[in-house]
Amino acid sequence: MAREKWGTKLGFMLAAMGSAVGLGNIWRFSFVAGNNGGGAFLILYLAFVLLIGVPLLLTEVSIGRKAESDVVGSFQKLAPRTPWYLTGFFGIASAFLILSFYAVVAGWAIFYLWNYINGSFFTSPEVGYDGAFGQFISHSWHPIAWTAFFMILTIVIVLSGVKKGIEGANKIFMPLLALILIGLAFFSLSLDGAAEGVRFLFQPNWAAFSEPSIYIAALGQAFFSLSLGMGAMLTYGSYLRKENKLPSAALGIGIMDTFFAIISGLVIFPAVFAFGIDPSSGPPLVFITLPSIFEQMPFGGIIGMVFFFALVLASLSSSVSILEVPTAFFMRIFGWSRFATSVLMGSIMFVMGIGVSLGFGIWSGVTPIGERNILDSMDYIASNILLPLGGLSMALLMGWYLKRSVALEATDLTHSPLGSLWYFIVKFVAPVLILLIFLNKIGLFL
């Protein structure tokens, strides 16, 4: 069977940008920045996106395009008769971990959309927005039902196939989300006390740089937000035709994704300080901040409705790329149909998601790693450890296993002056930085 391909390069770009832009830019970026002191985190995050993220994005997509296989099979093809393919299982594992909590949070977003459609969030409920949110996420089955709804949407898109289901779904709604966010940022910046939020986001507290966990948080956020290290971008790359040029595509995706994150920061943090919300509230942060912004805006109810609609679509185009990773792998090794594979994988993730959701209710006392609840623990292992390890393996494959000329050709950099820079980064800079950040976190430099 011939491998499915994107219709056009634009099709690939839309799908890849759709994968990158999602809850990571708005929900995850805000709470990770809030937990890690704002400005210092932002500097590290931006540095990692530029220094490691964009070069590795190019690396990952190129590996997929060259090997024309999934995250495990690509390593088998490019490094045959070596155990390299085993690192592909970091990607499969992180897909299960990440989608099972991603679907829970996306379910929260659909619940908010519903509350803007029926008008109940137009004005603050009696218990306040934070009270209403707290009641909702701790309910035994309401959030699970919304998670199921989101997972079904994801599965339906994936089982319709890469081209039909994924390509082009975001043509209208990504620009719309960008427009709403820019408008919201202006409004948020006009609130009383907004300046403190701007300072929090842009003015680094230099003492924070001595804290090892901020480096790993910034690295994890760069990987998560760029959809890097899991094999999602690799799998999308495997549906590319050879003639597409990749370096500009990688840079474009990096810029776009970072733009969404910074604008979200400019929406959330001025409002956080204006409304006296704690910036380190963790995962609930945007869900208690955003409705308070909408409540203060003229036509806020309508804007909130359109915003959450666009957010749900952005989440869908990301979740689809995550589900595609194990789907492509299991379809190949067992020869199952796309239909059966995506339904089975999505169902397993949904069951895991039930546990994540209960972690905000009856299982709120369950803290697998340190003080972290179930969502935070799964996120920590997947985003801060498995994704960087997956990226490290891809960098080493390109920088050390393949010949330099082969690597440059795979990335369309043979005749580019940027070729040497990219090669130096994947060979030395990115692997060394990732290892240093890990060792630093383990406490080697204390």
Interface positions with Na ion (CB under 5 A): 20, 24-25, 225, 257
Nearest residue (CB) to ligand PHE, 204 versus 252:
252
Smallest distance from the beta carbon of 122 to ligand PHE, in angstroms? Answer: 27
Nearest residue (CB) to ligand PHE, 177 versus 293:
177
CA 69 from centroid of its chain's CA atoms: 22
Identity of residue 383: S
Question: Which of ligand PHE, Na ion, none interacts with 356 (beta carbon under 5 to 8 A by kind)?
Answer: none
Question: Which of Na ion, ligand PHE, none interacts with 377 (beta carbon under 5 to 8 A by kind)?
Answer: none
Nearest residue (CB) to Na ion, 20 versus 312:
20
Question: Which of Na ion, ligand PHE, none interacts with 318 (beta carbon under 5 to 8 A by kind)?
Answer: ligand PHE
Report the alpha-carbon distance of residue 260 to residue 240 in Å, rounded. 25
Contacts of 160 by beta carbon, 8 Å cutoff, 6+ apart: none
From the list 344, 284, 435, the residue with the least C-alpha distance to 96 is 344
Nearest residue (CB) to ligand PHE, 132 versus 166:
166
Smallest distance from the beta carbon of 325 to ligand PHE, in angstroms? Answer: 8
Nearest residue (CB) to Na ion, 20 versus 325:
20
Nearest residue to ligand PHE, by Cβ distance, number only: 24
Question: Which of Na ion, ligand PHE, none interacts with 290 (beta carbon under 5 to 8 A by kind)?
Answer: none
146: tokens are: 């919304």
Task: Show the CA angle centred on residue 357, arms to residues 353 and 361, nearest 5°.
Answer: 155
117: tokens are: 């459609």
Smallest distance from the beta carbon of 101 to ligand PHE, in angstroms? Answer: 11
Question: Which of Na ion, ligand PHE, none interacts with 19 (beta carbon under 5 to 8 A by kind)?
Answer: ligand PHE
DSSP 3: P
Question: Which of ligand PHE, Na ion, none interacts with 100 (beta carbon under 5 to 8 A by kind)?
Answer: none
392: tokens are: 């490290």
Question: Which of Na ion, ligand PHE, none interacts with 70 (beta carbon under 5 to 8 A by kind)?
Answer: none
Question: Which of ligand PHE, Na ion, none interacts with 230 (beta carbon under 5 to 8 A by kind)?
Answer: ligand PHE
Smallest distance from the beta carbon of 239 to ligand PHE, in angstroms? Answer: 15
CA distances from 155 to 96, 304, 398 (A): 14, 26, 33
Smallest distance from the beta carbon of 19 to ligand PHE, in angstroms? Answer: 5
Identity of residue 149: F
Report the alpha-carbon distance of residue 71 to residue 76 in Å, rounded. 9
Alpha-carbon torsion angle 398, 401, 404, 406, nearest 10: -80
Smallest distance from the beta carbon of 192 to ligand PHE, in angstroms? Answer: 31
Nearest residue (CB) to Na ion, 320 versus 402:
320
From the list 60, 59, 64, 52, the residue with the least C-alpha distance to 425 is 52
Alpha-carbon torsion angle 224, 225, 226, 230, nearest 10: 20
Q: Which residues bind ligand PHE (CB under 6 A)?
A: 19-20, 22-25, 98, 224-225, 227, 230, 232, 318, 321-322
Smallest distance from the beta carbon of 180 to ligand PHE, in angstroms? Answer: 17
CB count within 10 Å of CB 298 equals 8
Smallest distance from the beta carbon of 396 to Na ion, in angstroms? Answer: 24
Contacts of 8 by beta carbon, 8 Å cutoff, 6+ apart: none
